[in-house]
Structure 1
Amino acid sequence: MSRAGLGLALLLGLLTSPALRADQPTQDGFVYLDQVLKSARYEVRYAGADNFVGEPIDGYQKARIILTREAAVALAAVEKDVALSGLALKFFDGYRPQRAVDEFRRWAADPQDIRQKARYYPDLDKPALFRDGYIAKHSGHSRGSTVDLTLVDSATGKELDMGSPFDFFGPISHHGTAQVSVQQTRNRETLRQAMLRHGFEPYGAEWWHYTLKAEPYPETYFDFPVQ
């Protein structure tokens, strides 16, 4: 067996070990990402008030990232990949309960609630969030193999400059935009290439958003809480 194959076999063994099963999500086929990755950082925005809604989101009872086993295994390979360049992964979101998506829809339909507009969508009105694909009836996150992430310096934990912050809604967050600098473009491309090499595909409007191509539940939208 190759070294890569051996590493994958060891990881799959970890994911099915009795110790791991003692602390696992309520839904079969899912794992806590912090039990799989070694160097990742986490800032689970929707478990607190630091997000575009401005309050904790329904379904996020703990500040942890849950994903399908397949997505977690693929991200372990991404983690090893970027570590060769002195980088680590930082996650903002993973699996997202359908109830959270429903809350986003209710928020987006309320024209009076614009408390976070200046920070997250200063150049857009709320109806544009639906039109431009930032808010939808269903989210790939609810299928369990989509992540929102960035890169950080392994030594300092400082995020690489991507030109716009996570969840900033507007053209500057799109892949291929001319609104960011050469270095910011390179940073985005470093993340994109690492994710592509290990089976993820990007979402064009959000530099931080990736979905596992071979996701195990492509037609299922889950609603169990993050707890």
Structure 2
Amino acid sequence: MTTRTSPSCTNAAAAEVLPRRIRGRLIALLLLPSAAMACEVQVSPAETAEEAGLVEVRTLGPGIQVEARYFGSNNFTGAPVPGYEANACLLLPQVAEALARVQHDLQSQGVGLLVYDCYRPVRSVQAFMDWAQGPDDPRQKARWYPRVDKTDLVPDYISDSSGHSRGATVDLTLLQCTDAGCEPLHMGTPFDLFDPLSSTDAPVPEAAQANRQRLLAAMQIRGFGNYPQEWWHYTLQPEPDPCTAYDVPVR
């Protein structure tokens, strides 16, 4: 899910008057890379990251910090997600190189990148769908989707396929770095909050909106497009291989 110019203003206006569930599907279709629309995404037979051609982003951008949320329990499922076996960020080489350029651009400003998710195995996407269809947990709801019913998370926030599985999408935020260390900048909502306020242009406090726009500008300069329902979600445009998904574990 990535930001691209809509085919027409008419399409965007029509989406506004559709029911939210249908609108979510329409937006997802409009934002698909044109190449992906022309092909059926196939799952690669690769069994390792090396075979898939995926690289760890910190090998190219050593200043990038990684906090792989789905490797641990600090995520909306409340548990480690199948497929995540390390605190790592795997991407296709072209994507990792572009992200390293973003990091280099920001470092002169005393700012850096903190990555929450990168390549996501197909099995992990299925685990999200299984979770979404399971019983609700009041503790998880209060933290991750307090204003949204769990039954409405699919397809608006959780889908049975993900651009992350193609190795060109990252979820991330900005870090303010000083001699004392680095702290994430305030973005108005936490990462992975399923809520309208997580939309990039949502009416959050001015300072948070400025930080979102700062991240947006830094990513766009290096070729990344934002998925407008999630301020943290970016995909390199055009995708290096929009027709191939992977299911190798994150190690």
Tell me the TM-score normalised to structure 1 length: 0.86
**Alignment partners' CA distance in 2, 1:162 and 1:32:** 26
Equivalent residue for 2:96? Answer: 72
RMSD: 1.3
**Alignment partners' CA distance in 1, 2:51 and 2:215:** 29
Out of 198, 201, 221, the residue aligned to residue 176 of structure 1 is: 201
Deviations along 1:48-78, one digit per CA (max 9) or x if unpaired, are 1110000000000111110000100101110
In the TM superposition, what are the counterparts of 1:88-127 in structure 2 within 5 Å?
88-127=112-151
For the Cα contact (< 8 Å) 2:113–2:174, is it kept in 1? yes
Equivalent residue for 1:51? Answer: 75
In the TM superposition, what are the counterparts of 1:168-207 in structure 2 within 5 Å?
168-178=193-203, 180-207=204-231
Deviation for aligned residue 1:113: 4.0
Deviation for aligned residue 1:110: 1.1
In the alignment, structure 1 residue 166 sits paired with structure 2 residue 191: yes
**Alignment partners' CA distance in 1, 2:241 and 2:135:** 34
**Alignment partners' CA distance in 2, 1:68 and 1:37:** 13
**Alignment partners' CA distance in 2, 1:67 and 1:114:** 34
Deviations along 1:108-141, one digit per CA (max 9) or x if unpaired, are 0113444411110011111211142x10010000
For the Cα contact (< 8 Å) 1:31–1:68, is it kept in 2? yes
Segments of 5+ residues of structure 2 without an aligned counterpart are 1-47
Deviation for aligned residue 1:27: 2.9
Segments of 5+ residues of structure 1 without an aligned counterpart are 1-23
**Alignment partners' CA distance in 2, 1:225 and 1:154:** 31
Deviations along 1:134-185, one digit per CA (max 9) or x if unpaired, are 100100000001000000012231000000000001011001111x111110
Out of 131, 137, 156, the residue aligned to residue 160 of structure 2 is: 137
Count of aligned pairs: 202
**Matched residue type, 2:173:** T
Equivalent residue for 1:149? Answer: 172
Higher mean C-alpha deviation, range 215-224 or range 86-95: 215-224
For the Cα contact (< 8 Å) 1:27–1:224, is it kept in 2? no
Percent identity over the alignment is 44
**Alignment partners' CA distance in 2, 1:214 and 1:47:** 28
**Structure 2 SS opposite 1:90:** strand
**Structure 1 SS opposite 2:99:** helix
Higher mean C-alpha deviation, range 216-225 or range 24-33: 24-33
